[in-house]
């Protein structure tokens, strides 16, 4: 997978075995997406959670190279 990564593992949902996939996708230098999906049959994936990330402006969140304290 170019520009991202996928991670797989077994889990259970209410005692039922399920495969889990976590996917990171690089959109551009400042944006990424994370997705969680489940497969109950080992073939079809059902995405149930996504999160989009935006890189913060270092000048607004850092001071002298360290995180600003709120």
Q: Give the tokens for residue 13.
A: 């949902």
pLDDT tier at 68, thresholds 50, 70, 90 = confident
What's the rounded mean pLDDT across residues 32-45?
96
pLDDT tier at 4, thresholds 50, 70, 90 = very high
pLDDT tier at 63, thresholds 50, 70, 90 = confident
| Dihedral sign, Cα of residue 7, residue 12, residue 16, residue 17 | positive
pLDDT of residue 64: 78
């Amino acid at each position: 997978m170019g520009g991202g990564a996928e991670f797989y593992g077994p889990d259970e949902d209410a005692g039922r075995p399920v495969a889990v996939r976590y996917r990171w996708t690089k959109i551009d230098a400042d944006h990424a997406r994370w997705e969680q999906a489940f497969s109950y049959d080992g073939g079809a994936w059902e995405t149930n959670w996504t999160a989009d990330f935006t890189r913060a402006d270092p000048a607004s969140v850092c001071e002298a190279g360290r995180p600003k304290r709120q």
